[in-house]
A and B are shown apart, each in its own frame.
Chain A
Amino acid sequence: MIADIKQGAVKENIFSDEKILVIKHLYKAFGNYQVLIDFNLEVSKGESVVVLGKSGSGKSVLIKCIIGLLKPDSGTIEMLGENIGDLDNEELDKIRAKAGFLFQSNALYDSMTVRENLEFPLRRHWIEVSQNEIDLMVTEALEDVGLVHTIDMMPAALSGGMRKRIALARTLILKPDIILYDEPTTGLDPMTGKEIIDLMMGIKKKYNTTSLIISHDMNCVKHAGDRVVILLEGRCYADGTYEALKQHPDLKVKQFFE
């Protein structure tokens, strides 16, 4: 078996030592099917890490374990200083208010307008805000993604790229410390995908958020990540910068970059 190949990971560390996310020995199986076997990952404050993996390799499972939607069978996940497995529901909600999650399928609420979609997390997280503040926050989030004019539209009336941007605005509205992106560009044409990547980078700059991006889109991997982690065979198979991994001698790593 090939152990973790940490080539290129020791590039001069421009990020602070504060770890926002630490995953240790994560194991998750569905019945006899082992999805994650021994996954380890650390993400520093302000860093953007892309997890690259084939379809069905367990990327969504990984990110859902992080946010507590799935329970790992063993291993620990520490996010923003809290061990996710130890938290009760209320504490988990508090952490979730500080962590944004962009769903692969956007998960916009079909029965609500764009405004109601954006208000939902604000109202539900027990946060004390007045209607005035809510309006301001909604407008700001929509400005960030350039879609203020859609505020009273229903999600069904929007294009795929617009829906993705609204979903991003909903993720942003609580000004999270870390954003978890589940395949933000999948299913979009390359141009729209590029716009989403630009938006993500703009957001990162503006709010100094940490990001964990799950993807198999090379464009996204190339532009959005400071560091790339390859998820293969349930493990963190390789870890390094885009450039370093591209030159990687291992054939299984190379095939991602072909």
Chain B
Amino acid sequence: MIQSPAIKIFLNEVGELSRFTGRFFNQCFKPRYEFKEFIRQCFVIGYRSLPLVALTAFILGLVLTMQLRPSMVDYGVESQIPVIVGIAIIREIGPVITALIFAGKIGSSIGAELGSMKVTEQIDAMEVSGTNPFKYLAVTRIIAATVMLPVLVILGNAISLYGSYLGVNMQSTTSFSLFWTQVFDSLSFSDVVPSFVKSFFFGFAVGIIGCYKGYNSNKGTEGVGHSANSAVVVSSVMIFIIDLLAVQVTQALGLN
């Protein structure tokens, strides 16, 4: 039936990942709830990625503003820079860039951590110690990634806009409050909510793919490295796919 082995592997992988996702939903509502571990994971995940997210977001806002300026000046709409930058960052660039950074930082570390726990039998050891390792390790990380990414996106967006404010001020002057008024006045419900909602999906994708890759890691250090690597690659691609779907959905819902 299916000729190409690559397609076979791909479909097989998709099937396994769907099964893993099903297992997640099956397990996450059943007690015992690993609340303490979940809080710890939120802290670890947020804390680990915040510096990187903040730095990139800041540079992004600053550079975007500086790059836009010449064209805006040409068209004589220099004063509209905050509006354009605000919309670009809030609607698209902020969530996607933050999610990609998150995938690189958190996706890979989840993949490597669970992968090495798997190959050194630590996951089995948890199971014989009265713990459901899927809940304790995977469910907590997946939910933590899902709730922490939107938080990081909001922080990242704010920092980007601050970077943009500095960018504007490098060649002309605007007051802090004027800048923010301009940004917020131009934003509507349909700019903010869809992008906020989609960052939950981004976070979920990073969490579930990292855990899936780690859980199915092959023996040996090479296997662990491969899990970490493919966790990043697959979740990055997944982020763009979700982004594409999200824009279709918002359009269909008339939110554009």
Min C-beta distance of B131 to chain A, whole Å: 5
B123 nearest in chain A by CB position: A107
Q: List residues of chain B with CB within 8 A of the CB of A121.
A: 129-130
**Which interface class (under 10, 10 to 19, 20 to 34, 35 or more) fits B?**
10 to 19
Rounded to whole angstroms, the CA-CA distance of A109 and B128 in the bound complex is: 13
Q: List residues of chain B with CB within 8 A of the CB of A120.
A: 126, 129, 131
Which residues 110-145 in B have Cβ within 8 Å of A in the complex? 113, 116-117, 120-122, 124-132
Rounded to whole angstroms, the CA-CA distance of A110 and B116 in the bound complex is: 9
Contact status A93-B124, CB under 8 Å:
no
Is the contact region of chain A dominated by helix, strand, or loop, or is it mixed?
Answer: loop
Min C-beta distance of A22 to chain B, whole Å: 20
Q: List residues of chain B with CB within 8 A of the CB of A106.
A: 120-121
Rounded to whole angstroms, the CA-CA distance of A125 and B131 in the bound complex is: 8
Q: Which of A6-14, A72-80, A96-104 makes up part of the contact surface?
A: A96-104
- Identify which of A97, A105, A109, A111 contacts B130 (C-beta below 8 A): A97
Q: List residues of chain B with CB within 8 A of the CB of A96.
A: 128-130
Rounded to whole angstroms, the CA-CA distance of A50 and B50 in the bound complex is: 52
- Identify which of A69, A108, A110 contacts B128 (C-beta below 8 A): A69
Contact status A109-B127, CB under 8 Å:
no
Contact status B129-A103, CB under 8 Å:
no
Rounded to whole angstroms, the CA-CA distance of A126 and B32 in the bound complex is: 11
Which residues 190-224 in B have Cβ within 8 Å of A in the complex? none
A64 nearest in chain B by CB position: B124
Min C-beta distance of B109 to chain A, whole Å: 11
Q: Does A255 contact B (CB under 8 A)?
A: no
Q: Does A67 contact B (CB under 8 A)?
A: yes
Q: Does A149 contact B (CB under 8 A)?
A: no
B32 nearest in chain A by CB position: A126
Rounded to whole angstroms, the CA-CA distance of A107 and B125 in the bound complex is: 6
Contact status A124-B129, CB under 8 Å:
yes
Which residues 2-21 in A have Cβ within 8 Å of B in the complex? none
Rounded to whole angstroms, the CA-CA distance of A93 and B132 in the bound complex is: 10
Residue among A89, A93, A125 with the most chain B CB within 10 A? A93
- Proximity bits, B138-169, A CB within 8 Å = 1, else 0: 00000000000000000000000000000000
Contact status A103-B121, CB under 8 Å:
yes
Q: List residues of chain A with CB within 8 A of the CB of B131.
A: 120, 124
Rounded to whole angstroms, the CA-CA distance of A230 and B199 in the bound complex is: 57
Min C-beta distance of B48 to chain A, whole Å: 13
Contact status A89-B132, CB under 8 Å:
yes
A67 nearest in chain B by CB position: B128
A112 nearest in chain B by CB position: B122
Apart from the given pairs A89-B132, A110-B116, 16 other A-B contacts in the complex at a CB distance below 8 Å: A64-B124, A69-B128, A96-B128, A101-B125, A103-B121, A105-B120, A106-B120, A107-B122, A110-B120, A111-B113, A120-B131, A121-B130, A124-B126, A124-B129, A124-B130, A125-B129
Q: Which 6 A-B pairs have the closest CB atoms?
A: A107-B125, A125-B130, A107-B121, A121-B129, A124-B130, A93-B130
For this complex, 19 residue pairs linking A to B, each with C-beta atoms less than 8 Å apart, are A67-B128, A69-B127, A89-B132, A97-B130, A101-B125, A101-B128, A103-B121, A106-B121, A107-B121, A107-B122, A107-B125, A108-B122, A109-B117, A109-B122, A110-B117, A120-B129, A120-B131, A124-B130, A125-B130
Taking Cβ atoms with an 8 Å cutoff, the residues of B that contact A are 113, 116-117, 120-122, 124-132
